[in-house]
Amino acid sequence: MAPTPSESFSGPKRVLITGGAGFIGSHLVDLHLGQGDSVVVIDNCSTGSGTNLKHHGDAIEFVESDLSAGLARIGQENSRFDLIYHLAAAVGVDLVLEDPIGSIRTNIMQTDALLEFALKNGSPPTFIASSSEVYGKPGVSVFSEDDDAIYGATSVTRWSYAHTKAIDEYLGLAYGQQHGLPVVVGRFFNTVGPRQLGSYGMVLPRFVEAALLGRPLRVFGDGKQSRCFCDVRDVVGVLPRLLGCPDAYGRVINIGSDRSITILELAQTVIDVLGSDSGIEGVEYSQAYPAGFEDLRHRKPDLTRLGSLIDFEYDHPLEQTIVDMAAQIESKKTAENGVSK
């Protein structure tokens, strides 16, 4: 069996998390602080929010900055870390379509800066967050890490994100091959849960918000496209275990659930779980996205490699994730309105 973090790293650890104020990053902060580790977060809060970390008070060192400037700042201090997670990135299809130049620069240049920092500061185990988008549009419905990637034309902006994340992977693996940096590349598949925002095109928080308001849940296309959703609290538990597993170094690993559900079924599940009066509204892709937008019919990860490295169990079924997302959304609105429960 692969070593656990406690076997690989004894005692409290010093951890750097880029993008730590974001959706996934903030849950990773929760996990490490809960283990007694000290955490440094760098985030420019372009898509994340300091409110995601507010409950920790002074327990973390939070550097609100672009990554390069933030790395330079902490590099002047004690910059040795036991673990590094690179989660800072442009996220969501909507954001990529709105600002392709910024997304490309963010994903590639920041990753290179982070890897160079890690190399010059002790070469700790380093996690690079990638995406299932890297697979492009292959002619298979189950994606394995060594599958060929097939992308659309460069004139279709949607595929720029896949290219940038693929370059991030190339960079991470090259730093491992050329310099011995212990890098793990994780490809996330539809991570969902509390603190996720629907404003960047994420489907589940959009559905939950609409159901809470009694508005129609807008399903694009025929709704028969399928995805596999995995709760963020299950996902972040995987990451330190992979960094504590030397057999994972220099490898690309799918991370997520392999339980498929169609988007139409997802919408109905949200309505049923929340007891909402909302209906479902079909929307043509042409009404939701720019001309030439391409979507995948099915996306499901092959988790064989992940299972060969660590034991992975789902602790949060989709129904519980929906309930918890709804509770978090309502709690946030209550706080914004200044109403005490």
Annotation says 170 is catalytic: no
Query: pLDDT means per 10 residues in the chain (341 residues)?
Result: 44 94 96 96 89 92 94 82 92 70 86 95 96 88 92 84 93 98 97 86 92 96 94 97 98 97 98 98 77 75 97 93 96 73 43
Whole-angstrom distance, CA of residue 168 vs CA of residue 174: 10
Question: Interhelix angle for 100-120 vs 67-75, to 10°?
Answer: 20
Residue 277 has a pLDDT of: 97
DSSP 147-215: SPPB---TTSTHHHHHHHHHHHHHHHHHHHHHH---EEEEEE--EE-TT--STTS-HHHHHHHHHHHTP
Residue 141 has a pLDDT of: 83
Residue 61 has a pLDDT of: 94
Residue 201 has a pLDDT of: 64
Task: Identify whether the C-beta of residue 266 lies closer than 8 Å to the C-beta of residue 204.
Answer: yes
Task: Identify whether the C-beta of residue 256 lies closer than 8 Å to the C-beta of residue 191.
Answer: yes
Query: Which entry of 135, 151, 161, 175 is annotated as an active-site residue?
Result: 161
Residue 240 has a pLDDT of: 97
Residue 112 has a pLDDT of: 95
Whole-angstrom distance, CA of residue 27 vs CA of residue 120: 27
CA dihedral 207, 195, 225, 216 (to 10 degrees): 10
Q: Which homologous superfamily is 13-260+289-336 in?
A: NAD(P)-binding Rossmann-like Domain (3.40.50.720)
CA atoms lying within 13 Å on the CB side of residue 248: 32
- Rounded to two decimals, the pTM is 0.91
